Amino acid sequence: MVEIRLHGRGGMGTVKAAEILVYAAVMAGGYGNSIPFFGFERQGAPVTSFVRISNKPIRPKTQVYNPNCIVVLDPTLMNAVDVFEGAKEKSTLVLNASTTPEQIKIPDKIKKIGIVNATSIAMDILGKPITNTIMLGALVKTTNIVNLELILRRVKELFGEKNVEAVLKGYESTCVYER
């Protein structure tokens, strides 16, 4: 089982991104569940969503305390929340940033890093800083955990062609680093 924790802010589509990941896992014949966690339910407040994906039925229906993969939709959260809390050894980080891994304090247990400037892509394609679809493309490129075509299908159903373009641009623009 792969456990993923997504960190974003209200209005960025963090919860919807988790739901799309689960959709892709289930449509591919696997299992998945997503659990959102809201503090203050308002735009801009920190939001966390938890995803489990497996090829076997999933029993836990709780938050993900020890993720294999951490996705950060808003880089300012790195200063406000311990996004690395509980990360397993040899974890993966998928980060919205305009930097390289050397410029960011990342724990040694993070062995694979995918970085994409999702905010810039969102502004170019969507005209607003909603990064969820771009980060889905970045996650698929970094981990290959779900099928890109299934992500694209669901994104098109929910959000239309511009967001399909955003997923693809996120996929193409992600730089993956191994440590």
- Would you kindly state where each structural domain of the chain is located, as residue ranges? 2-178
Amino acid 41: pLDDT: 58
Of 79, 30, 29, 80, give the one whose Cα is nearest residue 51: 30
CATH number for the region 2-178 comes to 3.40.920.10
* Cα four-point dihedral sign 58, 59, 62, 64: negative
- Are the C-beta atoms of residues 146 and 140 closer than 8 Å to each other? yes
pTM exceeding 0.85:
yes
CA trace torsion 98, 99, 100, 104 (10° rounding): -130
For 74-120, the pLDDT digits (tens) are: 999 999 899 999 999 999 999 999 999 999 999 999 999 999 999 99
- Are the C-beta atoms of residues 17 and 135 closer than 8 Å to each other? yes
Strand 46-54 and strand 2-9: the pairing is antiparallel
Amino acid 140: pLDDT: 98
Question: What's the number of CA atoms in the CB half-sphere (13 Å) around residue 8?
Answer: 31
For 18-74, the pLDDT digits (tens) are: 999 999 999 999 999 999 986 655 667 889 999 999 999 999 889 999 999 999 999
